Amino acid sequence: MSQGSGLKFKIVFFKYLLIFFCLLGTFQSAISLAQSRIDSLEEIIPRLKGQKKLEALQKISYELSFLDTESYFKYSQQGLEYALAERDSSYLASFLVELGYYYKHKGAYQEALNKFNRSLIICEKIKKYSTLSSAYTGLGSVYYELNLYDRALEYHTKSLAIKELENDGHDLSVSYNNIGLIYYKIDDPLRALEYYEKSLKLKLETKDTANSVINYINIGYAYAELLGEESKNKALEHFKTAIRLANKHNQMFRVGYAYGGISQVFISHYEYDSAKYYLNLSIEESVKNDYKKLESTNYYLLAKIAFQEEKYSLAINYLERSQAQLINLKDKNRIKNNYGLYASIFEARNMLDSAFYYQKKFSLMKDSIFNEELANNLASVQIATIEEQAQRKIADKDERISKGKLFSLFLLSILALSTALIVVIFRNYAQTSRINKQLNESNSKIEAQKKNLEKKNDELAEAQITIQNQNQVLKNINIDLDLKVQERTRELDRSNHELEKAVKDLDQFIYKTSHDLRGPIATMQGIINLGVMECKDPEAVVYFNTLHKVSNNLNNVLYRLIEVHETYQKKPVYEVFDPVKQIMKTANGLYDLSVELNIDIITELLAKDKWRGDVHLFDQIVENMMRSAVQYKDRSESMIKIRSEYVDGQLLLSFEDNGFGIQCGDEDKVFNIFYKGSPRAGGTGLEVYTAKIAVEKMGGTIRLKKARKNTIYEIHLPAIS
């Protein structure tokens, strides 16, 4: 057994020794034992030299990798320096790999790449394949963290090729799982399942259930991405198995990932209550173990559920929590998904500027992760892998053929067993020919696939150019539209300002004019009354009475204009009152006038319960609608019918009279200011108009239900909560 193989055997022995203690439930004892070994090594290392010192430094760095990260770095660095001094390339490559994993753990990815690449160069020169495989795995894991999945797949595949030659079940299982993770990240769950299941199979063959928890979780996530009831059941089955094994082997830090996976299964089948239950369990575990990526993913999924339930504010709150966990992380894929969900939420809320902003960020992030170059590189890696495996088979066969020939010649020269050796050589030759033929056919297929990929790449490039041109056109159109919208907005602002000023001036004019004219009219009425009292000429008295009637009409018009102005200006003040009492109060106020004009007031008041509204505006509506009916009576025996009732939570008022009615063709004018439904003298034409303003102030509607014979107005007033 070589020195490197002996060291590897010892490392594997220590690893399985730790697993053995975990299975016995004495993990703490195992830690104590490891610490004892560390103390022993720390004591003897200063006294050792040469190969023994390098071997001890490698052992202690391995032990410390599970217990003390900084001490692990210290002895790995010390081993590197001592290997340089001793010019031992084998240990130099090993310690470079150890330091590479240290820097990867710290997030110093550039330094980690530097260490792995240096180890790679040394291992290729000295043909140390076990360390070369570890360097490839390290490079693959760093590029995976950087979201460069094509590079990650390339190095993990190279590592797998070495491990397949060594046929180490544990290391093969790790590589299969790593490659499966890459295919899962690039949305190829079927390919990911293929590698995940290979990894799990190897672990189950060695009865390594403690380290199979992560495999069950990964397989569950892959099935969760697939559609169908069967995939759902398989996903749940694998997650539950992972939770059971994690509890059995004291791996509670993995339970949170299993809970998160179960929630994703329920989300994909729209079972949101179950999904939220497991997400909350997963969040508890992620917080307990400080797994920020998992916590971020859980909040993203809660935001996704809230979005589906149209709880947009809650969804944004969860997304902000998800983003907060990613501040110091470089998970582009997670950030990309958050941006995409932000865009969908703001689009649903019709906040198009924000939706466009996050959609743009989502597209840029997506292009930086999954682009044409990545697809080409992944295809090239797969082709290169197939070619490399084929070349390895050819080289292996060539080596065996060469050895067979030498052995045959040796036997011919010594034993002269020509006949038997010729048969053996012929069979080997025939087998080699078949293999070469198969390889040639494989190479032809690979070449055809490569040409097909190149053709598709050209088509994609042309499509990309077309899209870029269209995007530029759209960008120019958007710029022009923005400029036009801004100009139109400025024009509207100016128009609104001028309109507001004109309305304000008109409002002040009506109010001031109405008040200023009432004074002279009152004076004129006083003079007219004095003239009637002192004048003895009957004809002059007739003139005075005519002037008095005209001035009364003018005064009434001014009073109604002031009432219109005050109604316009009034802000509703809501309170609870009895509609029936208010209607009766207003009707009683017009009783004398109705008796004088022989008008019968009929009430059918069914709205008995209290109602919430503005009392003053309500009185304005009732009084003006009744005055309108009184002003335009058309017969000696007239009637006004008032009806009130509650309909679907609204207060319905109906005013019916048998007066002159609305002339044909004037139905659309009844709510205009100064409109009179009758050509006869009387009225101001402001009664219905004032009632309409009061109705709209209270958020209601008024309509002319019937125009002739019996005129009917119908008013709907909403209930104010």
CATH of domain 570-717: 3.30.565.10
Q: What's the whole-number mean pLDDT along residues 494-502?
A: 73
Q: Residue 521 burial by CB count (10 A; 0-12/13-18/19+): exposed, middle or buried? A: middle
What percent of the chain is predicted at pLDDT more than 70?
80
The residue among 54 and 489 whose pLDDT is bigger is 54
Helix (H, G, I), strand (E, B) or coil at 552: helix
How much is the mean pLDDT over the chain? 79
Please say if the pLDDT value at position 403 is more than 80.
no
Q: What's the whole-number mean pLDDT along residues 477-482?
A: 82
Q: Which residues of 334-348 are buried (b: 16+ CB within 10 A; e: fewer)?
A: bbbbbbbbbbbbbee
Q: What's the whole-number mean pLDDT along residues 288-313?
A: 88
Of the candidate ranges 202-206, 352-356, 717-721, the one whose mean pLDDT is the lowest: 717-721
Q: What's the Cα-to-Cα distance from 609 to each of 407, 612, 618, rounded to whole Å? A: 114, 10, 16
Q: What's the whole-number mean pLDDT along residues 93-101?
A: 90
Give the separation between CA 434 and CA 442, rounded to whole angstroms.
Answer: 12
Please say if the pLDDT value at position 627 is more than 50.
yes
Please say if the pLDDT value at position 16 is more than 80.
no
Residue 709, pLDDT score: 76
Q: How do the domains of the chain map onto residue ranges?
A: 374-521, 570-717
pLDDT tens for 407-445 read 556 566 677 766 766 776 767 777 777 877 877 887 788
Residue 372, pLDDT score: 47
Residue 26, pLDDT score: 40
Q: Residue 539 burial by CB count (10 A; 0-12/13-18/19+): exposed, middle or buried? A: exposed
Give the separation between CA 678 and CA 633, rounded to whole angstroms.
Answer: 9
Residue 526, pLDDT score: 79
Confidence of residue 10 (pLDDT cuts 50, 70, 90): very low
Residue 9, pLDDT score: 45
Residue 653, pLDDT score: 92
Helix (H, G, I), strand (E, B) or coil at 704: strand
Q: What's the whole-number mean pLDDT along residues 442-461?
A: 81
pLDDT tens for 152-178 read 999 989 988 888 887 777 788 888 889
Q: What's the whole-number mean pLDDT along residues 628-639?
A: 75
Of the candidate ranges 3-7, 533-537, 540-544, the one whose mean pLDDT is the lowest: 3-7
Of the candidate ranges 303-307, 452-456, 615-619, the one whose mean pLDDT is the lowest: 452-456
Virtual torsion, Cα 469, 473, 478, 484, nearest 10 deg: 160
Please say if the pLDDT value at position 635 is more than 80.
no
Amino acid at residue number 132: L
Q: Is the dihedral of CA 287, 291, 295, 298 positive or negative?
A: negative
pLDDT tens for 650-693 read 899 999 888 777 777 777 777 887 777 665 545 677 888 899 99
Residue 666, pLDDT score: 75
Residue 317, pLDDT score: 92
Give the separation between CA 375 and CA 188, rounded to whole angstroms.
Answer: 12
Query: Which token pair is 409?
Result: 């010649």
Query: Which token pair is 240?
Result: 């539950």
Residue 13, pLDDT score: 44
Please say if the pLDDT value at position 607 is more than 90.
no
Residue 505, pLDDT score: 61
Q: Is the dihedral of CA 57, 59, 62, 66 positive or negative?
A: negative
The residue among 314 and 609 whose pLDDT is bigger is 314
Residue 210, pLDDT score: 79
Residue 410, pLDDT score: 59
Q: What's the whole-number mean pLDDT along residues 56-85?
A: 83
Confidence of residue 251 (pLDDT cuts 50, 70, 90): confident
Q: How many CB atoms lie within 10 A of CB 631?
A: 20
Of the candidate ranges 118-122, 215-219, 507-511, the one whose mean pLDDT is the lowest: 507-511
Cβ 361 vs Cβ 339: under 8 Å: yes
Of the candidate ranges 42-51, 547-556, 682-691, the one whose mean pLDDT is the lowest: 547-556
Residue 642, pLDDT score: 92
The residue among 666 and 479 whose pLDDT is bigger is 479
Residue 277, pLDDT score: 92
Give the separation between CA 605 and CA 580, rounded to whole angstroms.
Answer: 6
Of the candidate ranges 385-389, 582-586, 628-632, 638-642, the one whose mean pLDDT is the lowest: 385-389
The residue among 640 and 635 whose pLDDT is bigger is 640
Q: What's the whole-number mean pLDDT along residues 286-301?
A: 86
The residue among 587 and 677 whose pLDDT is bigger is 587
Cβ 271 vs Cβ 262: under 8 Å: no
Cβ 622 vs Cβ 557: under 8 Å: no
Residue 459, pLDDT score: 83
Residue 618, pLDDT score: 92
Closest CA to 60 of 27, 36, 87, 86: 36
Q: Which of 35-49, 255-269, 417-431, 582-596 has the highest mean pLDDT?
A: 255-269
